[in-house]
Amino acid sequence: MSERTFYVYLLASKSRRLYVGVTNNLERRLHEHKSKQLEGFTKKYNIDRLVYFEHTTDILSAIAREKQIKSWNRSKKISLIESDNPTWEDLGVEWYKADSSLRSE
């Protein structure tokens, strides 16, 4: 049996409004956020830039980590993002471009 991978991720809007989520398929989930397929907070506030993620093979650990990060104050979340991504680059932009080019063929 193959191991599954689970991701805890942070998205940001251009104005740096934050969202924390968990998924088992980060590329698919990011596409859903970028194409506004998901109703709710991220669609309403245009939060679709992947600025941080981490992975694990244990779903319970991923859920616990998501809850932990969600409980943090904003400055602690920003410190986490900037520890790996100081310029807040969209880490998933290439995935989305590749997916978009496939749809246009």
Sequence spans of domains, the chain? 6-103
> In this model, does residue 101 exceed pLDDT 60?
no
* pLDDT score at 38: 86
| Fold annotation for 6-103 | GIY-YIG endonuclease (3.40.1440)
Question: In terms of pLDDT, which residue wins out, 2 or 31?
Answer: 31
Number of H helices, E strands in the chain: 5, 3
Predicted TM-score (pTM) of the model is 0.88
* pLDDT score at 93: 87
pLDDT per position as a tens digit, 53-62: 999 999 999 9
Q: What is the CA radius of gyration of the chain?
A: 14
